[in-house]
Structure 1
């Protein structure tokens, strides 16, 4: 498709919603140029074609996080996404726009974010300084190396895209979600904070519920890498006093993976699974493998990689 003079006519199919009708699709046609963001396209549709269309937008510069939605199935900020870029990427001038997944729809592209905000506030997203600082008797100083660790995770704009894309949030109500963990780790790792033990109770169990699918990494418009915050949070498990079964199982799994790599240079799935869940815990999975004819793969005897000593040097640091 030719985009002569960097202009094109686009068909935008919006997945709309009302309590009376439920979900339904509606098409709109308009011309766009190389400067047209999706927030601008939606504004023109609302002002020139259909004033009943509902969506959220505010800053138009990827700072407020208001305009999260799915564009051609991908969670994105509408203000940060150019219409022509999507046309070029998919080779089609027909584009779909839908409300974010997971969240309850309110009207059209507007979703209810109460659950998201509750998760964010649950991690206590502010610094709790010492009494000396509050009384004006001292001040907190942050070293550059500490600031370097915290800065990335402080950039979250609460857009909800990562939660919309996260399968673990949808399957496990006890998982706080990637955005909450990014914000929670920002304060957990802050040496000025004084409620570390309380934060551990809030964050550690949830951190071990992440499935490491990296969807939050893929969709974050600020390159925050919430999954990295979750990994770093897990490292605080050693400080947790009352460990849940989820935490204990996660630590067993980590030890099993380390042991497998140290002994063979490989992650041997059957050995790791058995070490993590024990014989009784593995029986259900073994029955499934037997029924599906895959048990033979679990029983394959692996050979250690060559130069295993080099691998062990890396693991020892």
Structure 2
């Protein structure tokens, strides 16, 4: 081992149908240029050919090598081994399959559910008939291109879904990646199925809890949570809304009214306007049973200089 190399201990959470889950350790010498995909390649070729993992491009484009590295959803090819050693001040690096997905073999997970969600949003452009027949041409304006470009960068790696609690808790939520891809076409002026896309995306967009995990783990800085916020803004254009979307719209309106009136969000008032009296009474009983009812009666003072706040809000 050269002076510039360092030995690391790689703990891999392995899985097989016969053995189930188990941990296995390997030692590898790395330098400052060694990616985690290279670490895995060396282990497989030099120490243990039975190890299974996915990798292809080695340059953060294909999205194949998604996994948990020291508990964080990451692309192995975009992660340098010594960067992890430095970050955690330890030469021990753990590798696990992504959360949410069922492991097939070691670090390889079943992505069928992920792809099903992605294809539900119809991830392709549906242009005008004349364009398909070669009788017309559609060009994208620079301002439209700027709006779409960031969301074009999704590589279908699944890391955002792996880190998303809403996907686990709500089967009706399509997931961050699907929304990033769906909004990319919803906002494309060349697309011809706007109404159909809205019906697919709106209900799901209101099921996001804004935990920002997708924002934190995306290797391409796509910001899926931003596309969900932008999609919600289209709710007013949909005639037949689901109950979830209706409540979401009421919640936004209640927040806006509260800020215009007092300069702050009055939680109790907003809740009442959002969910109505009956639902609020039910939750009031729950709050009372858990000793939280006192917070509903906190007296709040109006913010000074309300004229400035209303001016910011466009009034």
Per the alignment, residue 121 of structure 1 pairs with: 119
For 1:1-317, what aligned pairs fall within 5 Å after superposition? 6-316=4-314
Structure 1 residue 239: Cα displacement: 1.0
Structure 1 residue 162: Cα displacement: 0.2
Q: Secondary structure at the match of 2:313?
A: helix
Structure 1 residue 50: Cα displacement: 0.7
Q: Secondary structure at the match of 1:316?
A: coil
Deviations 1:275-311 (A, max 9, x none): 1111211223212221222211111111111212111
Structure 1 residue 6: Cα displacement: 4.7
Change (3 A) 1:293 1:6: farther
Deviations 1:30-76 (A, max 9, x none): 11110011000011111111111100000000000000000011000
Aligned mates of 2:91, 2:268 — CA distance in 1: 48
Deviations 1:142-169 (A, max 9, x none): 1000000011101100000000000001
Deviations 1:116-161 (A, max 9, x none): 1111111111111111111111100110000000111011000000
User: What's the RMSD between the two structures over aligned residues?
Assistant: 1.2
Structure 1 runs not aligned, ≥5 long: none
TM-score, normalisation: structure 2: 0.97
Give the length in aligned residue pairs.
Answer: 314
Aligned mates of 2:3, 2:169 — CA distance in 1: 47
Aligned mates of 1:226, 1:6 — CA distance in 2: 39
Structure 1 residue 9: Cα displacement: 1.3
Structure 1 residue 250: Cα displacement: 0.4
Structure 1 residue 260: Cα displacement: 1.4
Aligned mates of 1:169, 1:20 — CA distance in 2: 29
Deviations 1:173-203 (A, max 9, x none): 1111000000000000000000001101111
Structure 1 residue 171: Cα displacement: 0.6
Aligned mates of 1:257, 1:22 — CA distance in 2: 49
Aligned mates of 2:38, 2:285 — CA distance in 1: 55
Q: Secondary structure at the match of 1:312?
A: helix
TM-score, normalisation: structure 1: 0.97
Q: Secondary structure at the match of 1:176?
A: coil
Aligned mates of 1:194, 1:16 — CA distance in 2: 46
Q: Secondary structure at the match of 1:175?
A: coil
